Structure 1
Amino acid sequence: MPTPLLRPLGLALCLAAGLARAETWPAADWQQGTAPSGGAVQAFESYAFPQRDDASRTGVRSDAVVVIRDGELIYERYAGPTRAETPHLTWSVSKSLLATVLGVAYGEGRFKLDEPVARYYPAFAGHPNVHLDHLMHWASGLAWQEDYEYAPLKSSVVAMLYTRGRGDMAAFAAEHPLDAVPGKRFRYSSGDSNVLSAALRGMVGEEAYGNYPWSALFEPLGIHSAVWETDAAGTYVGSSYSYLTARDLARVGLLMQRGGRWGERHLVPSDWVAFNRKPFADYQPDPAKPGDAVPGGHWWLNTQLQGAARPWPDAPEDAFAALGHWGQALYVLPSQKLVIVRYADDRDGSYHHNDFLKLALAAFAPEVKP
């Protein structure tokens, strides 16, 4: 029998063990939770999966929605050619995936955020004052134009992905001059992300780089569907070209929802996750775009800044997301223990994060108010 002095310690250990056992994690597949039903779910589906004439290429079109609550799969639906086993193009969700891979490297002591980019990517030597944390906040100061198919002639990103920069995307970005002081101006840039991907190569070494996203992140999480394209120089296109099933992307969301922890392993350090979720200090919200999320460390935040409304007012302030072109999204809502993946083909701007999240919360976490 334990002495009275040791009983509280033994009780605490038993309680901790009980909590650990109670926490649900996916194994080869997600554990199924109780599927919600009723009017709130129907309202959510009416918004997420409306009838649409695909010939017009307008309106909301979700290809997949997966909802994880407290580690259990409680909802999923697919449309079009997308199925549960389909690795879907994530577009710029790739940037947050890259940030998570970098988080593993950070935890391994392979770099520090205040180091010059050129230390790990010598082709960036022309910009000696640009540091890794500047790239992580899309604040390199490069004269970059992130215009898409609507303004292709002046678009840096279109040139990088499809024309003169596609052979070596990081080198193409590095050739851009500065037009702002590094670390002082937010300007969203797929070039910044691809330079980070090239820097990762320098951090981990040539031999490890080819398999590093898998050995560092995908394999520990049990992700088997991941595809990540490289450019002709062998650099992962960290800005745009990763593909995962919705269920597998949700594993990354659960990792982030639980502060970088996967089971008993702290795969990503908690201070890295805190950095991802900290707003860029010099960010100035655009009053003309009140729904725009706040940039963090290569993730997007629902933080309310002084003098501005919360970007998604019907979602909790601790919500954050990985977002991509045409409606790709990985939403993480820690206080609701929710992870929501949405794959889509939105083309006309009629989809709104706040509307989707408001309906999702009513359907999947009705007892918790933001």
Structure 2
Amino acid sequence: MKLIKRTFLLLATVITLIIFFNYPKLNIIAGYSAKSTASSVFLAKRSLSLTDKTDNNFSPINLANDIVSEIKKEATATAIGLLKRKASYRDGLGAVLIPNKKTKLVNNKPKRSTPDLKTPFPYGNKAPKDTVFNNINYTKIRSAVDDIFNDSTQTRAALVIYKDQIIAEKYDTGFDKNSLLLGWSMTKSITSTIFGILQCQGKINIQDNAPFDEWKNDERKNITIHNLLQMNSGLEWDEDYNSISDVTKMLFLEEDMTKVQLEKPLIGKPNERWNYSSGTTNLLSGILRKQFDSHQEYLDFWYTNLIDKIGMNSMVIETDAKGNYVGSSYAWATARDWAKLGLLYLHNGNWNGTNLFDKDWVNYATTPTPTSDGWYGAQIWLNAGSRYSDLPKNMFSFDGYQGQYVFIIPDYDLVIVRLGLTKNIDFNQYLKKIINSIQ
């Protein structure tokens, strides 16, 4: 009997220790699953079963069990029956995790404009013109697009635009041109674009030092907005989605995501070390908040001066519990609306005759960060270092987790969108095939 008791006690101790050391991981797992479920069900209008079968069906997130309340617009996830997290949906702001019971959500909604349903895509939201180009081999381009739709790639949407016209478009089963899809880090390029618009309006100078009193008395006082946009500020940051890291703690534990990078020390000097950081982008969102007299003005500006102005009316950028746009990660839109952002850059900031920003901003945003090996500009990915060996070096892109892409290829007047759940695609070959379909 004593042996049985000792064995039971040892087993209980081992289980307790396992739970103790893995509890922080369970917090992240449940947080990810609750947030993903709330956004998918209430914002993207998908079923809970589809969400669990696809978006949340990877290790270790699939250890969580999800339930939703249609009445409360809430999603709750429980990690292996031990830890529970809740996310709440707010109209116009998307879903947000509730960090703790004392959290009071900031629920101000941005003002939105009415979609233009009279003008054909891309400059409005009416059906695009039926255009056929004699120099396009449509058989080749359809074949290239078809090849990236399979169980391995898990592509959900593919769109190819040539000279402002759709020449190929395809969606996975259960998705269509109206489906909202998460851009993940493509959101960073939107945040950068807001700086470009303010710069061109003469309301901000990106060469100024970052406006934080917390940095005035130490070496961080020399960090400029430019350094932050290029992600070479020298600030400490760990961007690892497979562990408990700075980025996972920020996205799934913090009420105010604009402050996490603010509190980090320097581990280098500005302009000497490129370090990809979602914390930096949310810090930039906090800097944008400082440009406006009220929180409502901050919320409205992103839509009135960019998103709705170019007809990306499906887009919603989710906010954190304090009402800050999560500029690093949480923009949702249709494939066609993601393409509009690419077209805006293809046309050097001009949208159907109106300049939102100018070519100087595009040149700036696509100039390689000195320490990035030609891979990165101002929150935009580049091909200057020939990451895609068979493609033009002046190609650039908005990139996101799990293979979200908007490629802009100026030499061929192309914008190419791919949205899905994996990166299991040879994009060099895929884009090369599309280019080769243009004769």
- Amino acid of the residue matched to residue 178 of structure 2? E
| Pair 1:327-2:403 in alignment | yes
- Amino acid of the residue matched to residue 187 of structure 1? N
Post-superposition offset of 1:25: 5.5
Distance in 2 separating the partners of 1:197 and 1:353: 30
Contact 1:26–1:71 (8 Å) recurs in 2: no
Post-superposition offset of 1:268: 1.2
**1:108-147 matched pairs, under 5 angstroms:** 108-117=201-210, 119=211, 121-122=212-213, 125=216, 127-147=220-240
| Pair 1:221-2:310 in alignment | yes
Report the 3-state secondary structure (helix = DSSP H, G, I; strand = E; otherwise coil) of the residue aligned with 1:280.
coil
Instruction: Tell me the residue number matched to 2:350.
Output: 261
- Amino acid of the residue matched to residue 342 of structure 1? R
**Which range is displaced more, 210-219 or 237-246?**
210-219
Instruction: Tell me the residue number matched to 2:158.
Output: 65
Name which one, 1 or 2, has greater alpha-carbon Rg. 2
Distance in 1 separating the partners of 2:332 and 2:131: 26
Contact 1:110–1:204 (8 Å) recurs in 2: no
Distance in 2 separating the partners of 1:298 and 1:359: 27
Post-superposition offset of 1:80: 3.6
| Pair 1:41-2:141 in alignment | yes
Distance in 1 separating the partners of 2:228 and 2:195: 12
Distance in 2 separating the partners of 1:32 and 1:247: 16
Distance in 1 separating the partners of 2:198 and 2:384: 27
Post-superposition offset of 1:124: 5.3
Structure 1 residues 73, 42: CA separation in 2 closer, same or farther (over 3 Å shift)?
closer
Instruction: Tell me the residue number matched to 2:359.
Output: 270
Report the 3-state secondary structure (helix = DSSP H, G, I; strand = E; otherwise coil) of the residue aligned with 2:268.
coil
Structure 1 residues 32, 250: CA separation in 2 closer, same or farther (over 3 Å shift)?
farther
Q: Residue 383 of structure 2: which of 280, 285, 302 is its match?
A: 302
Instruction: Tell me the residue number matched to 1:196.
Output: 284
- Amino acid of the residue matched to residue 159 of structure 1? K
Structure 1 residues 39, 28: CA separation in 2 closer, same or farther (over 3 Å shift)?
closer
Report the 3-state secondary structure (helix = DSSP H, G, I; strand = E; otherwise coil) of the residue aligned with 2:196.
helix
Contact 2:145–2:158 (8 Å) recurs in 1: no
- Amino acid of the residue matched to residue 168 of structure 1? D
- Amino acid of the residue matched to residue 297 of structure 1? A
Distance in 2 separating the partners of 1:128 and 1:80: 51
Distance in 1 separating the partners of 2:172 and 2:235: 39
Post-superposition offset of 1:46: 4.1
- Amino acid of the residue matched to residue 134 of structure 1? N
Provide, for residues 152-204 of structure 1, a one-character-per-residue CA deviation record: whole Å limited to 9, x for no partner: 12x110010012xx201111121111101022110000011001111011123
Distance in 1 separating the partners of 2:231 and 2:393: 22
**TM-score between the two structures when normalised by the length of structure 2:** 0.68
- Amino acid of the residue matched to residue 306 of structure 2? L
Report the 3-state secondary structure (helix = DSSP H, G, I; strand = E; otherwise coil) of the residue aligned with 2:147.
helix
**Which range is displaced more, 40-49 or 85-94?**
40-49
Post-superposition offset of 1:33: 2.5
Post-superposition offset of 1:26: 2.4
Distance in 2 separating the partners of 1:123 and 1:162: 24
Structure 1 residues 205, 361: CA separation in 2 closer, same or farther (over 3 Å shift)?
farther
Provide, for residues 32-91 of structure 1, a one-character-per-residue CA deviation record: whole Å limited to 9, x for no partner: 4228565523441343113x1xxxxxx312100111111111211111432211121000
Contact 1:170–1:194 (8 Å) recurs in 2: yes
| Pair 1:183-2:292 in alignment | no
Instruction: Tell me the residue number matched to 2:251.
Output: 161
| Pair 1:352-2:426 in alignment | yes
Distance in 2 separating the partners of 1:264 and 1:238: 27
State the superposition RMSD in angstroms: 1.9
Contact 1:301–1:319 (8 Å) recurs in 2: yes
Provide, for residues 76-134 of structure 1, a one-character-per-residue CA deviation record: whole Å limited to 9, x for no partner: 111143221112100000001111122111111121111111x2x54555631211011
Provide, for residues 332-364 of structure 1, a one-character-per-residue CA deviation record: whole Å limited to 9, x for no partner: 011101111111110xx532321221122223x
- Amino acid of the residue matched to residue 141 of structure 1? G
Work out the percentage of aligned pairs sharing the same amino acid. 30
**1:24-103 matched pairs, under 5 angstroms:** 26-29=123-126, 30-34=128-132, 39-50=139-150, 52=151, 59-103=152-196
Contact 2:180–2:332 (8 Å) recurs in 1: yes
Distance in 1 separating the partners of 2:154 and 2:132: 26
Instruction: Tell me the residue number matched to 2:387.
Output: 311
Contact 1:147–1:158 (8 Å) recurs in 2: yes
Distance in 2 separating the partners of 1:360 and 1:325: 23
Structure 1 residues 156, 66: CA separation in 2 closer, same or farther (over 3 Å shift)?
same
Distance in 2 separating the partners of 1:40 and 1:198: 46
Instruction: Tell me the residue number matched to 2:330.
Output: 241
Give structure 2 stretches of 5+ with no counterpart.
1-120
- Amino acid of the residue matched to residue 215 of structure 1? T
